[in-house]
Structure 1
Amino acid sequence: MNFSLQKGVAAVEMTILLPFMLLLVFATGELGHFLFQYNTLTKLVRDAGLYLGAHADTRQTSILPDPLEDDDCNDCITKTTNLLLYGKTTAGTSPILKGLSAADINIDEYPAGSRRLVISVSYNWRPILGEKLTTFGLGNEVDLSFNLNAHYAVTVL
């Protein structure tokens, strides 16, 4: 009789602890997913910046064209954007980071006349398990998605 009572106590304890243990496991997975995506984003921006710095000025002048366009640099803007999206200078089928698009990428010379190009990417990170955390009727849902911003400045050679 005492043995069956212990089995019941263990089942109750497991029922109480299981939601907290699952929350801990899923939160750890989301944190890992976040760090992986942020690391991927920063690597892509850095690689694209290095490519752009080496290919932006084909005329070898002291002043970059304002605004810098593909016609001025042998399609360097398009190739840089492709490098950010697909990991290569040619267009691909799906971006490395799901949801990243060319509209999220901005390339500007800042300050003007400095030959310093700044690549800025704003990526809307979304969790694996859903964008909203329910509060079970105790208030508004909590939005878990947010923007990851990465910037890279490079001086054109």
Structure 2
Amino acid sequence: MITIKNKITAASITNKSKQQGFAAIEFTLVLPFLLLLIFASAEFGRLMLQYNTLNKSVRDASRYLTAKAKTGTNDEISISGVTWDEVKNLIRYGQHANANLLLPNLNDDDISFSISGDFITITVTYDWQPIFSDTFFTFGLGDDIDLSFPLISTYTMRAL
């Protein structure tokens, strides 16, 4: 009975030595898919973080703007140029003064305002860019796919 166990052990050692290279081959085949999954998850998380930051800054700026807006003689809303600049700074920097940008490449041209009756609408169109690559290469199977797209945040409030 002892000799049978030794024979099984010797046979399993022989099979183990034959399969040592298969783990490296399997890892090489699976690694690109794992990296794609990890990088895609990181990009999606970054996208959600930047979209949340954009929405929060537009909401805060809209609240500030509606509190500063003044109703004129014909129930028209008037907003001073200084207030517009402060609102743009709130959206871009998160505060009234110039500091670090909340979102990279967010310009004053991306911010628009509209007044309709008692309502003030702020719309920001932010061109989101991925970190790792701007395009997804199709390896000659067709046109490369552009991965950048606009994040649009709109907030409407009634002037106080």
TM over 0.5, shorter chain: yes
**Are 1:97 and 2:103 counterparts?**
yes
Any residues of structure 2 matched to 1:57-68 within 5 Å, and which?
Answer: 57=70, 62-65=75-78, 68=79
Which structure: greater helix fraction?
2
1: CA distance, partners of 2:46 / 2:24: 32
Q: RMSD over aligned Cα, in angstroms?
A: 1.7
Identity %: 40
Which letter does structure 2 place at the counterpart of 1:40? T
Q: For structure 2, which runs of at least 5 residues remain unmatched after alignment?
A: 1-13
**2:89 matched to which residue of 1?**
82
- TM-score (norm. length: structure 2): 0.85
**Are 1:121 and 2:124 counterparts?**
yes
2: CA distance, partners of 1:134 / 1:6: 35
**1:49 matched to which residue of 2?**
62
Which letter does structure 1 place at the counterpart of 2:106? L
Which letter does structure 2 place at the counterpart of 1:63? E
**Are 1:149 and 2:152 counterparts?**
yes
Deviation per CA, 1:2-57: give whole Å up to 9, x if none: 33322111111111111111111111101101000000000000000010010121
2: CA distance, partners of 1:25 / 1:87: 30
CA contact (8 A) 2:119 2:158 kept: yes
1: CA distance, partners of 2:96 / 2:135: 35
2: CA distance, partners of 1:102 / 1:61: 30
Distance 1:2 1:143, change over 3 A: same
2: CA distance, partners of 1:19 / 1:13: 11
- TM-score (norm. length: structure 1): 0.87
CA drift of 1:61 comes to 7.2
Q: For structure 1, which runs of at least 5 residues remain unmatched after alignment?
A: none
**Count of residues in correspondence between the two structures:** 147
Instruction: Tell me which structure has the larger Cα radius of gyration.
Output: 2
Distance 1:32 1:19, change over 3 A: same
CA drift of 1:136 comes to 1.7
Which letter does structure 1 place at the counterpart of 2:113? I
Match of 1:39 among 52, 77, 95: 52
